[in-house]
Structure 1
Amino acid sequence: MTAARMSRWLVMAWLLLAAALVHAAPKAWLDRNRIALGETVTLNIATTETAAPEFGPLEGDFAPHGHTSERRFELVNGQATMRSLYSVALRPAQAGRVTIPPIRVGNTVTAPLVLEVTPAAQAIPARAGDDVFIESGPDDLDPYVQQAVGWVVRLYSAIPLVSGHLDQAAPAGASMQRIGDDAQYTRELGGRRYTVVERRYLLVPERSGELAVPGAVFEGRGVGGMFDSLFGDRGGELRARAAPRVLSVQPVPAGAPQPWLPLHDLRLRYTTTPTQPQAGRAATLAVELVADGALAAQLPELELPAIDGVQVFAEPPQSDERFVDGRPQVTLTRRFSLVPSQAGPVRLPGLRLPWWDIAGGAVRTATLPALDWQVRPGSAAAAATAGQGASDPPVAGSAAPGQATTDRQRIWVAIALAFAGLWLLTLVWAVHRRGQRAGSGVAPAAGSDTATKSTAVATPAKPGLAQLRRAIDAGGPEEIVAILQAMADPPIERVDALQSRLDDEAQREALDALQRARWGGGDVSAARQAVRAAFAKGPRWAASQTPAKPPLPPLYPER
C-alpha cells in the first residue's frame, strides 16, 4: 500500500471517529425551564449510545416517574442513524432555583440543567372538576400591532386519553404559528390529578382594533368503564372547547422608533472581548442580545458599527428561543472576528438599539459601551494575513503563527500518529485473519450466521410502516420527512429527490403540504391528516426513474 493511500485511509478513519464522537454526545433538555411547585417537568435525553441513562442522581431532590423511551431514525449524510430518546417526569420537592445534575449515559454524561420552581399557583380554573377542560389565553390583552403575543392552550384531562385532536384556529386579521413541541405534566386541582398538555402559539396582530380569537377545541376518546364497554364504549367520547377571547389591538404610537420593535425588555452585553489585540491576528468579540417578547426572526440583524483600521468578519448568529411566563423570549449570540491592519489605538463605538417598551409605553434604547484598545505590532506573516482582504476571512478564534499554532500542530501530529498505529495494528490483524481463512479453505456461506451478523452490523435497519405511523401521529414534520427518506432504497438525502421517487400523486401532494407546514406556510394539522391518508399503506416508490431530457441537443452525436 502506497503512502498516499495510507494517508487517505488515516484521514477517513479520523473523520469517521470524529463523527462518531459527535453523534455519541448525549443531549439533555427540559420541556419547560420554569414551573410551579406541585407540577412536573419532563427531562429528555437524546443519544446514539446503546446504554440507557442512569437516573439515580435524581432520586434525592426529585420524584422521577413515568419513564418512557423511543427510537427515531435520522438521515445524516445519506446514512440512516438510530437515535434513542429517553424521557422522565420530575416533580421538584421545593421551590427555588433547582439544578438537575449530569446524567451518565454509557461512557458520557449530559450537561447540568437549571430549573426555576415558583410557589404553587393559587388560582384554580373555573372548570376544575370536569373530566376534560381547556384553558387558553394571551400574555397581553392589549397588544400593539405586530407585537409578538404568546398564546398558550392547556388541555386538562383527569382520565387517561386513548386518542384525540387538539386544534386552535387562527383569527382573522392576525397570524398564529405553533411554537415548539407540546409540554406534558401533571397538576392537582380540587383533589383530582390532571394530566396537562400545554401547547404554545405565537400570535401577531396585523391591524388595530378588536381581534376575536376563537376558542381551542378538543375531540378524543378516553378509557371508559365496564358499562361503557358493554354498550359500545359511548362513554369514552370526550369533547371540550375553550371560551373565545377578544383582544384590543393598539396602533403603532406616533414617534415610535423604526424598525418597529415592541418588547417587554431588551438587554445587550459583551460576552467576550479582546484583551491585547495584535495587528494581523484575529481577535474574537461576542455580543449577546436577550429580548423578552419576540423570536429571533423578529429582531433586526445584530451588527457592529464600522471600526477604523479593523476588518470585521461576522459569524452566523446563534439563537435560543423559549417560552417564559406564557410569552416568547430569545437569547441571540453573535461572534465577530476583528483583524486590525496596523498597530496603534483603535476604538469600537458603542452599539445602540432603540425599542418600544410595551409596559411603560415609551421609547427605550439598549446600549453597549464603547471599547478602546491599543493594538500591538504584529509579525510580517500576520501583517500579510491582515492584508488578504474580505475575500479570505479568518476563522474566529483561530491562532496566528506563533506558539499557539505550534502547540496545536503538535497535538494533531500526536493524534495522527496514534491513529496510524491503531490502523497498522488493524491492518496486521486483517492480513493475519485473511491468511488463516485462506489456509483453511473454508469461507462463510451466504446464508450462514456469520454473513448475517456482518450484514446486520454494516447496514442499519430501515424504518418500517409502524415507525412512520408513530411519527405521523406524534412526531414533527422534520421527523416524518426523515423517516420517508430513510425508507427508500437507497436512502434519499434531498426532499426534491424524495418527491421524484414517489409514484403516487396523492403522496406527492401530501408531502408538499407537509413541507409548507414545516417551514411556516401551511396548516400542520391539515398536512398531518393528508400524510396519514396518503401513506396509510406506506410509500409507493417508482419502479424506475426516467432521466430528464437535456434542454439542449448533445454537442456530439451518440454512437
Structure 2
Amino acid sequence: MVKVLTALLTLFITVNAYALTEVTATIDKNPVIVNESFVLTVEANDDVDTNALDTSALMQDFIVGRTSVSSQTSMVNFKTTRTTRWTTVLIARKAGNYTIPPLIVDGVTTNPIDVKVINASDDNSTKQQTLFITTDISTKNVYVQQQLTLTIKLHFAAELKRGSLTEPELEGANITQVGKDKEGETIINGLRYRVIERTYAISPQKSGEFTLKSPVFSGEIMVPSTRRNSFLSFAETKPVSVIGEEIPINVKAIPPNYQGTWLPSELLSIHQEWQPKVTEFKVGEPITRVITLTAAGLSEEQLPEIEMSLPAGLKVYPDQAELHTGMNNNRLVSQKVRNFAIVANKPGNYQLPKMVIPWWNTVTNEYQEAVIPAQIITIAANAEQPEFVLPPNEGQTTPTQTPIEKTIIVEKASILQWVFLALWLLTLLAWLITYQQQKSTQKTAVKSKVNDHYLALLAACKKHNSEQVFTHILPWYNSLHLQSVSTISQLLASTNNQSLIAAIEELQLAKYGQSPIAWRGDNLAKAIQQVNKTQSSQQHNTGFKLNP
C-alpha cells in the first residue's frame, strides 16, 4: 500500500512539474521587407497538442504560409525538459507598422510583437534581399481572348534546399506555361543571384477590371547552424516564401460593330508559296500551294481553319495543318502552315479566288483583313499525261455532227480477206485478255491501297495515337467513297454512321477540349471496322451492268 501511494505521489509531482507555464513568440528579423517572408516562432515549455496554436488572427495583416510543428524532450542531470515549437511563414503585402497580436496556447498567452514593414528600395533597409521575385508583363490593357505574356524571375542568393512556384491567377482567364524554365546568374549591387525564369501565356475570357496575382514561391534555404559546438555544427534549413507584385489588368470587350471570327492580334499576316517555283504547270503534275498564317498574341487553338476553293478542272488534296508557337520580343507568336496539292485534268487558264482572314488590330484598334489576292495560273498540256475528259452527266447531250457520205463497193471476198479477218479476230481476243488482266491488276492495287490506309488507321487506334489517326482517317474514308472530303467536318457531314460520328467527336473532345484528356481508340476502331465491312459488302454486290 505504501508503495502504491508513493508511486501516485511521484506521478502527481511529475505531472505538475511539466505543466505548461510559458509560451513565447519571436520573429527572425525586424524590420521586414514587403513581399519577403519572415518566420514567426512560437515555443511552449511543455509537450502539448500540435493543433493548440490558432494563427487565424494573423490573416488580417499578413499572408500566412505553412506552419510546421516540432516537439523535443531532453534530460540533463536527471532533469527533463519538454518543448513544443511552431514555425509559421508570414508575408507583409504593404509597408507600414503592424502588430502581431497575442496568441493563445492552452490558456497561456504570448506577448504582442511590433513589426515594421519597409519597401525593398527604402533607405532604411539595411541589407539586401536574399530572395525576391520580379515580374514583366507584355501589356496591361487587352481585349477579350487577346493573349498577354507574363515573365516571372525568381532571384535567390542563398542555397535552395527545396521549393515550388505556384501559377499566377487571373479570374476567368486561361493560363498556360510557355516553354521550359530558364536558369542563369546576375549580379545586383555586388551580390550574386541565381535566376530562374518562367513565362506564362494568359488569355482573358471576359471583360472588366481584374487583378493578376503573381506566383508564390515556397521552400527552404540553407542557413548556418546556431549550435555552439562546432563539432556538431551542421547546416540547417529555414522556411521561406516570397510573392511578386499584384498587377491590375483592364480587359476590353469585343467591339459591337465587329463581324466574323474574333481574332485580336498585334499583327496577323497570310502568305503563299508555290512548290515547285515555276510560272507554268502541266496537266496531271501535282502543284503544292503552301499557305502560312502568322499571328502575334494568339494561341495555336485560336488560329482559324485555312480553306481553299478552286474552279472546276482543278482538284485539291489538303494535308493536315502544322502548328508552331514561340516567343519573339516577349510576345507570343503562333503559326499555322497548310499544304494543298493541286492537280489539273486539262490545260487552260484558271483563276484562284482570293483568300481573306478578318482580324482586329489591337494596336490601332481597327478592323483589318489579311488577304492573298486572286490570281491566274496557267496549265499547259502534257504529252506524257494526255488530257482526261470527264464523262458527260446523265441527260447531257453531245453536239450533233453531219455524217459524211461515203460510197462502199462490195466485192467478192478473197483468201487474203479471210486471213486478215482471222488475224483481226486474234488481235481482238488478245486485247480483251490483256484488258481483263489490267483491270484485275488495277482492282488489286486499289484494294491494296485501301487496305494500307485501313490497317494503318486500325494500328493508330490500337496505339491510341491521335496524331496518326488524323493522318490516315481522311485517305481511308476517301478510298471507300465516290466523293472526296478534305476536313474532319466534311467527313462528319457526309456519313450517316452514328458510331463513327460519335467516336470522332470523342477524339476531338479529348484532343481539343477545354481540358484535354487521354484518348483511347477502341470505340473508333470498332466504328471503322463496321464502316469498312459495310462498304466492302456493297462494292462486292455491285457488279458491272450493261445499259438496257
TM-score, normalising length: structure 2: 0.45
Higher RCO (CA < 8 A, seq sep 6+): 1
TM-score, normalising length: structure 1: 0.45
Q: Compare CA radii of gyration and give the structure with the larger one.
A: 2
